[in-house]
Amino acid sequence: MFLSFFFAAFVILLSAVYANAQEHRSNQRHDSNQWFHPRDHPVHQLFRRDDATTDGATYPQVGSPAWTAAYPASTPNSAKLPAAWTDALSAAVAAGSIPDIPPSKIAAPNTSPVYPEGYDPTSPKVCSGTYKCRIPGDMWDAPDGYIGMGFDDGPTDDFLEDKNQRVTHFMIGCNMLSQPALLTRAMDLGDDIAVHTWTHPYMTTLSNEDVLAQLGWTLQVIHDSSGGRLSKFWRPPYGDTDVRVSAIAKEVFGLETILWNRDTEDWSLTSGGTTDEAIQNSMTEWLSGPKSPGLIILEHELSTPSVRAFEHAYPLMKSNGWNLLSVTQAVATDGSAYQNAYSIDSGEVTPADVVSGNLTTTSISTASSATTSTSSTTTRSSTSLSRSSSSTLS
């Protein structure tokens, strides 16, 4: 009888532990072979550690002069990049993994990039995100029933902390240097940190080397400020990417691209481009509509009005039965926002995850089946800091 009682109690205890683990899934680590990029991906070599038994590095304190001095103060000089980065880019180009298309140009202020004659931005050959062309593998939609929660260009807000709501912050590199406390606060809250380039340019207008610099330095400062974590995702400013830019991000740095399928245009609240009422009308329509595909809504924390617009819409997200999840975790097949760790607070990075590897590049599908879409058409089966530009933000 005693054994029966003991066994029953053990089963109850085990069930409670399992339920608790499921409830706090976002705080747990997956087995390493489920969440990091293949060990032959060059990113593991680019951010390699010398010590195979510990974290392998001592970083300057975030915000200290030594920390700030390690990174470009403004637009990075692509002639002064780590050799490992440029070697990896050269290897990817030589392997035919980077499409050979020319950069676009901005013909006039506040206009979309244009390509030379013969390069249709909606064609599979180019597939520009600015023109809503979807590169296979880029993330535009959340899984059915989910809202992927993320913000561009802004600080964290107490509202999110009060709601215990984790989100992704797509952060701009140079602004992390000027406002390091906002980076550390986001990490302290357990939020996910993703790449939003160094100075927020139109990425398709840049040379291969300048694309490399914009992504590499942003990934580097996040890596050095988070105990060695490598962000798995990036978001192109203005949604401006194409098969060339996305291939550089993926082939050299292991970065996957997240865009959006709904846009509040909240960045224009302070200039009269939209109103809180207009945003709430759009939110009501989206949130009360179909749950397939799930939503990735472009939102910013640039100003008090943009933050308040989100706060006003948050109850609608909950009352309409949406599942809310940090967007990087929502679109990742393994639920992880990082290439070599499960979350920002999942403990130390396993040293082998960043020490092992070589410069063998992996190939990806680029434009073979690209599609153009002005609305959500596909689904997935898997479950920032302020700036002073007056142009369209994203």
Pair of tokens at residue 65: 């002069």
- Residue 3 in any domain: the answer is no
pLDDT of residue 45: 59
- CATH of residue 260's domain is 3.20.20.370
Residue 8 to residue 252: CA distance in whole angstroms = 53
| SS3 state of residue 213 | helix
Q: Is-catalytic flag, 191?
A: no
Residue 214 to residue 177: CA distance in whole angstroms = 14
Q: Say which of 138, 152, 210, 242 is annotated catalytic.
A: 152
Torsion of CA 230, 232, 238, 242, to 10 degrees: 120
Pair of tokens at residue 66: 């030594």
- Residue 60 in any domain: the answer is no
- Residue 29 in any domain: the answer is no
Poorest-confidence range of 151-155, 290-294, 364-368?
Answer: 364-368
- Residue 10 in any domain: the answer is no
pLDDT classification of 371: cutoffs 50, 70, 90: very low
- Name every residue whose Cβ is closer than 8 Å to that of residue 390 and which is 6 or more positions away in sequence: 271
What is the residue whose two structure tokens read 């302020």?
386
Pair of tokens at residue 229: 């974590």
Pair of tokens at residue 375: 């609305």
pLDDT classification of 362: cutoffs 50, 70, 90: very low
- Residue 342 in any domain: the answer is yes
pLDDT classification of 197: cutoffs 50, 70, 90: very high
pLDDT in tens, 258-274: 999 998 988 767 778 78
Give the mean pLDDT of 241-263.
Answer: 96
Give the mean pLDDT of 200-216.
Answer: 97
- Residue 16 in any domain: the answer is no
Q: Which of 246, 256, 325 is nearest to 35 (CA)?
A: 256
Pair of tokens at residue 320: 């309409």
- Residue 148 in any domain: the answer is yes
Q: Say which of 37, 224, 300, 353 is annotated catalytic.
A: 300
Domain range holding 330?
Answer: 40-52+88-372
- pLDDT for residue 32 is more than 60: no
pLDDT in tens, 75-108: 999 999 999 999 999 999 999 999 999 999 998 9
How far, in Å, are 119, 131, 241, 290 from residue 201 at the CA level?
A: 21, 17, 11, 34
CA angle 245, 251, 152 (to 5 degrees): 50
| SS3 state of residue 118 | coil
- Name every residue whose Cβ is closer than 8 Å to that of residue 125 and which is 6 or more positions away in sequence: 99, 101, 119, 243, 367
Mean pLDDT across the chain: 78
pLDDT classification of 41: cutoffs 50, 70, 90: low
Asked if residues 252 and 85 have their Cβ atoms less than 8 Å apart, the reply is yes
- Residue 15 in any domain: the answer is no
Pair of tokens at residue 219: 């990934």
Count of domains for the chain: 1
Q: Is-catalytic flag, 153?
A: no
